[in-house]
């Protein structure tokens, strides 16, 4: 196993090993949550003479189900690769056919959101290319923002252009929780120009399709 890949992504990128460090990471998170909730950690517990667990551990199990959704671990490898701009890892994970649309449990960010937020253009292009057909551009974070909302708000012209060039869906038509489109949150003129060009192009495409059908 590649220890560095395990440390960064929680797995080997060849997909041929079990997640060796999952147990250790799970135990650390579990004990942190127990302390926050006022419970004892599992190491300080024991079993009754008849082998049954103490009640505190039963309460702990319920706490874990509520606070640790399965998606927290499923999202980590691709999210970490996108966040760090690791294009090679993104390509490797694409071969394993991981789900690119899983959200981070705290922010609601997908891997694409993370790459956009960190201004990792190469990672954005890799995600759009490697996961074409599977990657959804209309996925929203906890504030209702798509990746294009994030790119527009932060003024990333090239990333905005890369997302708008995709034909899988029209990200320009998505609104966030405030009812705002990506063009409504723009803060720089260059991004505004890019969005307007994309809007015009999409309108021309729609007119062309209508003419061909007629």
Q: Are 163 and 137 in contact (CB under 8 A)?
A: yes
pLDDT digits (tens, 9 = 90+) for 53-94: 434 433 333 333 444 444 344 447 999 999 999 999 999 999
Give the chain's domains with CATH numbers: 3-68 (no CATH), 72-213 (1.25.40.20)
Selection from 6-10, 44-48, 159-163 with the highest mean pLDDT: 159-163
The better pLDDT of the pair 23, 171 is held by 171
Mean pLDDT, residues 144-165: 93
Q: For residue 52, what pLDDT is reported?
A: 47
What global pTM score does this model have?
0.67
26-30, 35-39, 189-193, 203-207 — which is least confidently predicted?
35-39
In 134-169, which positions are buried (b, 16+ CB within 10 angstroms) versus exposed (e)? Answer: ebbbebbbeeebbbbbbbbbbbbbebbbbbbeeeee
The better pLDDT of the pair 206, 145 is held by 145
pLDDT band at 162 (very low <50, low <70, confident <90, very high): very high
pLDDT digits (tens, 9 = 90+) for 136-152: 999 999 999 999 999 99
- Residues of the chain with pLDDT > 90, as a percent, come to 44
Paired with 47 in beta bridges are 53
């Amino acid at each position: 196993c590649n220890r560095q890949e395990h440390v960064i992504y929680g797995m080997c990128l060849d997909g041929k090993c079990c997640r060796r460090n999952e147990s250790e990471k799970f135990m650390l998170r579990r004990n942190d949550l127990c302390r926050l909730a006022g419970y004892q950690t599992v190491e300080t517990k024991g079993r009754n003479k008849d082998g049954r667990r103490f009640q505190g551990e039963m309460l702990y199990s319920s706490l874990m189900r509520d606070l640790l959704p399965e998606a927290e671990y499923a999202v980590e490898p691709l999210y970490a690769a996108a966040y760090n701009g690791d294009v090679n890892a993104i390509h490797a994970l694409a071969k394993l056919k991981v789900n690119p649309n899983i959200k981070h449990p705290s922010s609601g960010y997908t891997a694409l959101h993370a790459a956009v937020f960190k201004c990792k253009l190469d990672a954005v292009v890799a995600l759009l290319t490697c996961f074409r057909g599977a990657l959804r551009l209309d996925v929203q974070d906890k504030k209702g923002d798509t990746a294009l909302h994030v790119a527009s708000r932060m003024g990333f012209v090239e990333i905005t252009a890369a997302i708008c060039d995709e034909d899988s869906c029209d990200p320009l038509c998505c609104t966030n929780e405030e009812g705002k489109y990506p063009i409504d949150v723009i803060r720089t003129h260059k991004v505004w120009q890019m969005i307007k060009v994309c809007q015009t192009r999409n309108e021309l495409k729609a007119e062309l399709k209508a003419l061909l059908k007629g």
